[in-house]
Amino acid sequence: MGENAAETRWELQKDRMLRAAAQCFNQKGYSGSSLKDVANILGLTDAALYYYVKNKEELVYLCYVRAGEVGQESMDRAVAEGSCGLDTVTRYIRYHVEAMTGERGPVAILSEIPSLQPEHREEVLQISRDHGTRFEALLERGIEDGSIAPCDVRMTGNAIMGALNWVPKWFHGDADVAENVIREFPKILGAGLTTTDRQQSQENL
């Protein structure tokens, strides 16, 4: 039982470290951030971070893996709860924004992938590709069930993902802003997907 408690504490501290690191990298970039910057946010010595990571490159890599996990969790939940393609897509948008602006945030922007070692870079790129492919499948499902208007799923997916992935760059923890983003992003990003018949039906409600 003691080992489980210690493991839980280690995971919680690691997650806290990755959120602090994401904050630094989002604000200062890879070259402008240091382990000392992350340690200062946490109130630790930079030497204490070496208990969790070997160097800054590994820290960036782990931040990017965590960002992928947050997106995956949001999509899993949306798929489990969505009633149709459009409902699943808008739920995913809301759940992902909730995670990034809530207790799971900050989440690192995947803007420094070229700085990763080759094996880390390929893993992160594959995570991103898999996530994008899965989102495109949700769009295709919506087109098939009639809830989403026919569209280029690759371009549409890139546009929506681009908007979502940039949220951590300009969101800085304001609760009112978070509430507005959670409420408005699904509406804004989902509006362009809706079929004419569905728009008219919603307007008549």
Number of domains forming the structure of the chain = 1
* pTM of the model as a whole: 0.90
Say whether pLDDT at 199 is over 70.
Answer: no
- β-bridge partners, 148: 194
Residue type for position 130:
D
- List phi, psi (to 5°) of 108: -70, 140
Contacts for 39 with CB less than 8 Å, ≥ 6 apart: 45, 46, 48, 49
The CATH number for 159's domain is 1.10.357.10
**Confidence class for position 159, pLDDT limits 50, 70, 90:** very high
Task: Tell me what pLDDT residue 3 has.
Answer: 62
> Quick check: is 17 in a domain?
no
> Quick check: is 120 in a domain?
yes
d(CA 179, CA 204): 27
DSSP secondary structure code for residue 148 in this structure:
B
> Quick check: is 41 in a domain?
no
Say whether pLDDT at 205 is over 60.
Answer: no
> Quick check: is 36 in a domain?
no
**Confidence class for position 10, pLDDT limits 50, 70, 90:** confident
**Confidence class for position 8, pLDDT limits 50, 70, 90:** confident
Contact 116, 56 (CB under 8 A): no
Domain of 85, in residue numbers: 56-203
> Quick check: is 97 in a domain?
yes
> Quick check: is 144 in a domain?
yes
> Quick check: is 178 in a domain?
yes
Task: Tell me what pLDDT residue 200 has.
Answer: 43
> Quick check: is 82 in a domain?
yes
DSSP 76-139: HHHHHH-SSHHHHHHHHHHHHHHHHHSTT-----S--GGGS-HHHHHHHHHHHHHHHHHHHHHH
